[in-house]
A and B are shown apart, each in its own frame.
Chain A
Amino acid sequence: MWLTRPLQERSTQIFLGVLFGALVIVSALHLFMPQDSALYVSSYTVTLLGKYLCYALLAVAVDLVWGYLGILSLGHGAFFALGGYAMGMYLMRQIGDRGVYGDPVLPDFMVFLNWQELPWYWAGFDMAWFAFIMVLLAPGILALVFGFLAFRSRVTGVYLSIITQALTFALMLAFFRNEMGFGGNNGLTDFKDILGFDLRTDATRLGLFLATGIALAIGYVICRGIVTSKLGRVSVACRDAEARTRFIGYRVERVQLFVFVVSAMLAGVAGALYVPQVGIINPSEFSPLFSIEVVVWVALGGRATLYGAVIGALLVNYAKTVFTGIMPDAWLFALGGLFVLVTVFLPKGIAGLMSRRSKKDDTDTPAAQEATA
């Protein structure tokens, strides 16, 4: 079975071990350490780590398409945000009549805009199971339609990157509009509880953190399963020599479409877990800058390694938290410099450095630097 195969792999075992170890240690430090101890992990930190883990899952999703399929998506932020909005809509409906205006059905911003009833696409989001399905379906369907059109007409390489960027840009403009019914500029916020648990309590926050960690583990195993399967081999072939793979007889566009949709769904899950922890979702998640930032996490960690993407996401976001705290002006310099340095001097990222040091020749390290024409 393709999903269990990765569990027998050494690298996956190490990854999962480290991940679960970290989850257990953080929870233990949070729960059992006295508050004034130096080792105590505050609930703020737990939420912050949970946010990082969401980013890590998003980075894994991007690495799946960029590293193993050779598609540089500059629009994965769109899938992330769509998942986030699906979750946000559920959380909005959970507020019920506890909003500022006290309307039992309509969220505050709709009352504010003088809307009389819920738009049709808000129907069903009061049910958790429906919202959770939409977390997968909304980004999945967008990726399916977009990917179907793009891959069928063999749009690849730089062109694909640019139109994915245009896609997320267009969505950002659309979601900024109040008429769209997603809260416009302010987005969705002021959430109260999820599945009946109060979002402001420490226990819920820890629960969300653990859930994110488990989601990351599952996402990692799924991606690992895909890339070690036959499908994964074909997709690497598409990455390295698309025309040749097509001539051999593989339906390249189907492989691309499948992997792209899976990746979009993973991004959606990451977004859905991100929203309750951060407490807000607004159109800025659609901004092209965010999507391209995700790519640099992957590039820093190392393309086509999956665990590299996780390392990159954690490192860059930790640096971002530190930098924006100490000298906010310097962050964009650092980020910009990172883009340049990684691409020029570290084409294989941190994972490349590590594997060079240990001289271990993993079959999955990127063989071809040049993914596209």
Chain B
Amino acid sequence: MIELAWLIPVFPVIGVLINGLFGKHVGENAGPIASGMAGLSFLVVLGIAGQMIFGAGGSHTIPLWTWVEAGSLSVSMSFLIDPLSTIMLLVVSGVGFLVHVYAVGYMHGDPGYPRFFTYLNLFMLSMFLLVLGDNYLVMFVGWEGVGLCSYLLIGFWYEKQSASDAGKKAFIVNRIGDAGFLLGMFLIWTLTGSLTYTEVFQAAPEMSAAMASAVGLLLFVGAVGKSAQIPLYVWLPDAMEGPTPVSALIHAATMVTAGVYMVARTSPIYVMGPDAMSVIAVVGALTGLFAASIGLVQNDIKRVLAYSTVSQLGFMFMALGVGAFTAAIFHLMTHAFFKGLLFLGSGSVIHALHHAPEEQQQDMRYMGGLKDKMPITYWTFLIGAIAIAGVPPLAGFWSKDEILANAFFTGHYTVWIMGTVAAFMTAFYMFRLIFMTFHGEMRVDHHAREHIHESPPTMTVPLVILAVLSVIGGVIPGFPPEGGWIHRFLAPSLAKMPAGGHAMDQGVHLMNAAAGGGHSGPAVVLLIVLAIAVAVGGIALAWYMYVKDTGAPRRLYRSIPGIYYLLLGKYYVDEIYQACIVEPTYKLMRGLWTFDAKVVDGAVNGSSLITMVSSRFSGIFDLRTVDGAVNGTASFIRFFSQVFKYLQSGMVQNYLFVMLLGIFVMLSAYLFR
């Protein structure tokens, strides 16, 4: 079964070809075709995963063909199936398939229906390449491919100015990260002479800490772009202009986690470079806190979820930074379940409010009381919210708590505090969203009210499946903490932090030993209690402010308007970027344009003037001298031929006479010389 891994990306290719080339003829069948292809890929993945999980496991390379062979650089197109890529494949193809099915209902009637599913399958193909590649170059191809699909799908409704702007923004911001990824690849090749994972990681232990950190930081720049971390996170909230299934699949569950996957994949290099790890931990924690705080006050349902995604990605990087690679991948998986669920749920809500005015469809201030109108959406959404808030035994608790515990036990206390605060905010803003959307009185536009309805089964069935996964997706693979199935399964793929690598770790280990030995004992219990308290506290606060005492938010805003506007304006990061980067770039561009218009064009026009003058002179020379010589020869010949032509009398006797005369003269000359 594992040898059939090449089939996984083949099905989406077929889908792309059918829907892309014959979209007009396929019409409404595009959705089922694309979903079927995604489903077939999912089946193959299930087979492979079954063999990997219940069979021997291990790591398998499936070579397909040699791709680049130039000098000492040799890159082959081959796939790597190991525990890490198996987990990623399950997430990508599973959530991808569900989103395809959901989109069949959600996108129904859209004029770009076949185009949408072409892009969606193209995305699946790129994502599979990214995950399956056994070297950095194949990963990069997938990396760029998902970036392209992200651009295409964000700008799917390109007639809308904001959508096409958001697409461009995502693409341009991602380019910055991609440049870092490329440089990181160059450095890896310079250091190890290879791009294949196995060979690079064999050489990794010989790297100096500085070089390993340099590689790590460059690759992390790529991850920062793709996974929307500070300072390149700005594109992700704007990416919500795309259709909601796209937000669920690309901007929550799969593509944005590519950076996490890449860092986890590169873990053998990262453990050699502690400085890079620290940077990742700090950036992750900052992003987690920063984005969560923005999410507190946003009113657009999808933007809340977008900032939540940025924040949760921050959690994953926090985990990577403190060396808890398994926890990061675990959180990636659970996050894919519940954030995919939340996005699809919000899509269901937006779908129901289809008849409301455009600017009110996604605004929570114009929702409320939807609980009874759409029960399936409500209950699944509630499960997703509880899962992300971190209430046991739902999925989010196990992975998030593991990240925070790892941060604590490796001595990153600042990171741990920031993470805990962010977790509190997460619980709060998620339930603020729930209460504003589904509870309280209905504030929907009157015309739209009678059109509110539960979504069709193609949309609710994926919701239910994802809700089930959000319930059991954490406890089954992750229990008991730090010793669950997923830890044993992923162990061969991920590097371990060297014990006692940091001076700080030493102290921590001593302290842990004093506190009851290792990762068990009173400290763990305390952390778990604290995590649950934080989650429940956030929910309770949201309940108090948005159900019990609905005047509270207004009073709070009155007392601290500065902070409120700072958060509502998203810390004015977009405006700062506009002023510090975009405007200077425009200025530089205008300056260069002036230079181009004045100097470059001047030089070009000047040289053309010189050419014209010199050609005028050479034209005169040609007319007078060269033509004169030619015509002179001709008229010379014509003049003399006028004279001599009379010799040709046509009379044979004349000729004979001249001939005889000649002979006579010659003979005379001969005889009388």
Does B bind A? no
